[in-house]
Protein backbone atom coordinates (compact mmCIF):
# COMPACT_ATOMS: atom_id res chain seq x y z
CA UNK A 1 0.00 0.00 0.00
CA UNK A 2 1.63 3.29 -1.09
CA UNK A 3 2.27 6.11 1.31
CA UNK A 4 -0.54 8.20 -0.26
CA UNK A 5 -3.07 5.48 0.50
CA UNK A 6 -1.89 5.25 4.12
CA UNK A 7 -2.23 9.05 4.41
CA UNK A 8 -5.66 8.84 2.83
CA UNK A 9 -6.69 6.19 5.36
CA UNK A 10 -5.42 8.36 8.22
CA UNK A 11 -7.45 11.35 7.01
CA UNK A 12 -10.54 9.14 6.67
CA UNK A 13 -9.95 7.91 10.20
CA UNK A 14 -10.30 11.44 11.58
CA UNK A 15 -13.79 11.73 10.13
CA UNK A 16 -15.17 8.33 11.06
CA UNK A 17 -17.39 7.14 13.87
CA UNK A 18 -16.74 4.10 16.03
CA UNK A 19 -18.01 1.77 13.30
CA UNK A 20 -15.76 3.50 10.82
CA UNK A 21 -12.76 3.03 13.07
CA UNK A 22 -13.59 -0.67 13.37
CA UNK A 23 -13.74 -1.05 9.60
CA UNK A 24 -10.49 0.95 9.28
CA UNK A 25 -8.66 -1.41 11.60
CA UNK A 26 -10.14 -4.41 9.80
CA UNK A 27 -8.75 -3.00 6.56
CA UNK A 28 -5.36 -2.34 8.17
CA UNK A 29 -5.20 -5.85 9.58
CA UNK A 30 -6.01 -7.34 6.19
CA UNK A 31 -2.90 -5.70 4.72
CA UNK A 32 0.28 -7.61 5.58
CA UNK A 33 2.47 -4.55 5.04
CA UNK A 34 0.37 -2.28 7.27
CA UNK A 35 0.12 -4.97 9.94
CA UNK A 36 3.91 -5.32 10.03
CA UNK A 37 4.28 -1.54 10.08
CA UNK A 38 1.90 -1.24 13.03
CA UNK A 39 3.82 -4.00 14.85
CA UNK A 40 7.14 -2.19 14.28
CA UNK A 41 5.61 1.10 15.42
CA UNK A 42 4.30 -0.58 18.57
CA UNK A 43 7.70 -2.12 19.30
CA UNK A 44 9.46 1.21 18.79
CA UNK A 45 6.89 2.93 21.01
CA UNK A 46 7.47 0.42 23.85
CA UNK A 47 11.25 0.72 23.54
CA UNK A 48 11.02 4.52 23.61
CA UNK A 49 8.78 4.32 26.67
CA UNK A 50 11.31 2.09 28.47
CA UNK A 51 14.14 4.52 27.67
CA UNK A 52 12.01 7.49 28.75
CA UNK A 53 11.02 5.80 32.03
CA UNK A 54 14.65 4.93 32.77
CA UNK A 55 15.73 8.52 32.07
CA UNK A 56 12.98 9.94 34.30
CA UNK A 57 14.02 7.56 37.09
CA UNK A 58 17.65 8.68 36.69
CA UNK A 59 16.67 12.36 36.92
CA UNK A 60 14.46 11.72 39.96
CA UNK A 61 17.30 9.83 41.62
CA UNK A 62 19.70 12.67 40.81
CA UNK A 63 17.48 15.25 42.56
CA UNK A 64 16.77 12.77 45.39
CA UNK A 65 13.05 12.34 44.67
CA UNK A 66 11.72 8.79 45.05
CA UNK A 67 10.32 7.17 41.93
CA UNK A 68 7.19 4.99 41.82
CA UNK A 69 9.46 1.95 41.99
CA UNK A 70 11.19 3.32 45.11
CA UNK A 71 7.83 4.00 46.77
CA UNK A 72 6.56 0.50 45.89
CA UNK A 73 9.71 -1.09 47.36
CA UNK A 74 9.43 1.02 50.50
CA UNK A 75 5.76 0.12 50.88
CA UNK A 76 6.62 -3.58 50.57
CA UNK A 77 9.26 -3.22 53.29
CA UNK A 78 6.83 -1.33 55.55
CA UNK A 79 4.15 -3.99 54.97
CA UNK A 80 6.65 -6.70 55.92
CA UNK A 81 7.68 -4.84 59.08
CA UNK A 82 4.02 -4.24 59.97
CA UNK A 83 3.27 -7.95 59.72
CA UNK A 84 6.31 -8.76 61.87
CA UNK A 85 5.18 -6.19 64.45
CA UNK A 86 1.67 -7.66 64.45
CA UNK A 87 3.08 -11.16 65.02
CA UNK A 88 5.25 -9.86 67.86
CA UNK A 89 2.26 -8.08 69.40
CA UNK A 90 0.22 -11.29 69.29
CA UNK A 91 3.04 -13.20 71.01
CA UNK A 92 3.34 -10.54 73.73
CA UNK A 93 -0.43 -10.63 74.29
CA UNK A 94 -0.26 -14.42 74.71
CA UNK A 95 2.58 -14.11 77.22
CA UNK A 96 0.68 -11.47 79.22
CA UNK A 97 -2.48 -13.60 79.18
CA UNK A 98 -0.53 -16.62 80.46
CA UNK A 99 0.33 -14.72 83.62
CA UNK A 100 3.57 -13.55 85.16
CA UNK A 101 6.54 -15.82 84.62
CA UNK A 102 7.72 -17.91 87.55
CA UNK A 103 10.59 -16.27 89.41
CA UNK A 104 13.80 -18.20 89.15
CA UNK A 105 16.11 -18.39 92.14
CA UNK A 106 19.20 -16.26 91.65
CA UNK A 107 22.25 -18.45 91.10
CA UNK A 108 24.65 -18.48 94.06
CA UNK A 109 28.19 -17.39 93.57
CA UNK A 110 30.97 -19.44 95.00
CA UNK A 111 33.09 -18.14 97.93
CA UNK A 112 32.25 -16.91 101.40
CA UNK A 113 29.19 -14.96 102.24
CA UNK A 114 30.83 -12.38 104.44
CA UNK A 115 29.46 -8.92 104.33
CA UNK A 116 31.06 -6.48 102.07
CA UNK A 117 33.28 -4.04 103.85
CA UNK A 118 34.39 -6.39 106.66
CA UNK A 119 38.09 -6.64 107.15
CA UNK A 120 39.94 -9.77 108.11
Alpha helices by DSSP H, listed for 31-67, are 32-62
Tally of domains within the chain = 1
**pLDDT one digit per residue (tens) for the chain, 120 residues:** 556 666 677 777 666 677 777 887 888 788 888 888 888 999 999 999 999 999 998 998 899 998 888 899 999 999 999 999 999 999 999 999 988 767 666 666 665 555 555 554
Q: What is the pLDDT of residue 74?
A: 96
Q: What is the pLDDT of residue 110?
A: 62
Residue 89 lies in a domain: yes
Torsion angle of the four alpha carbons 3, 4, 8, 11, in this order, in degrees rounded to the nearest 10: 70
Q: What is the pLDDT of residue 3?
A: 62
Per the structure, the complete domain to which residue 92 belongs is given by 66-97
Residue 30 lies in a domain: no
Residue 85 lies in a domain: yes
Q: Are 12 and 24 in contact (CB under 8 A)?
A: yes
Amino acid sequence: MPRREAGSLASKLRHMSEEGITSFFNEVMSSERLRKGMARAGERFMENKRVFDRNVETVLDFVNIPSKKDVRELKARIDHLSSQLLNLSIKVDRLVAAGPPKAKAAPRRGGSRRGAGTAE
